Amino acid sequence: MLLNSFWGKRTSSKDIAKERLQLVLVYDRAQIDPSTVDLLKEDLVKTVSKYLAFDPANIKVELSQENNTSILRIDVPFKTKS
């Protein structure tokens, strides 16, 4: 506790448990392995790269749960010209 406040961070172990559970249950309920999503991500990067210029490091592919439905979210941010 003291150490946590010292570092200015107070994430309780309960919050960690809840976050981990919610994440793992999204995959459990959809019956998909996290590794499958990783493979999908790799393929997506390859495919999208053929047509568009974007930063592969920022591509996000993740499962989430909304109103009892599993949703696959794919975020492909374009490269910002600087």
Partner 1 sequence: MGKSLVVTSGKGGVGKTTVVANVGTGLAMKGLKVVLVDTDIGLRNLDLLLGLENRIVYNIIDVVEGRCDITQALVKDKRFSNLYLLPAAQTREKEAISTDQMKAIVDELKKIFDFVLIDSPAGIEHGFKTAIWGADEAIVVTTPEVSAVRDADRVIGLLEANGLKDPSLIANRVRFDMVKNGEMLSVEDLLEILSIDLLGIIPEDENLIISVNKGEPIILGADKYKSGLAFNLIVKKLLGEEVSWNELEKTENFIEKVFKFLRG
Residue numbers of the site for partner 1 (CB under 8 A)? 12-15, 17-18, 20-22, 24-25, 28-29, 68
Nearer to partner 1, 26 or 59 (CB): 26
In angstroms, the CA 73 to CA 64 distance is 7
In angstroms, the CA 26 to CA 3 distance is 33
For residue 65, the minimal CB distance to partner 1 (Å) is: 10
In angstroms, the CA 5 to CA 11 distance is 10
Sequence length of the chain is 82
For residue 51, the minimal CB distance to partner 1 (Å) is: 39
Nearer to partner 1, 17 or 39 (CB): 17
Q: Radius of gyration (Cα) for the chain, nearest Å?
A: 17
Nearer to partner 1, 8 or 50 (CB): 8
For residue 23, the minimal CB distance to partner 1 (Å) is: 11
In angstroms, the CA 31 to CA 60 distance is 20
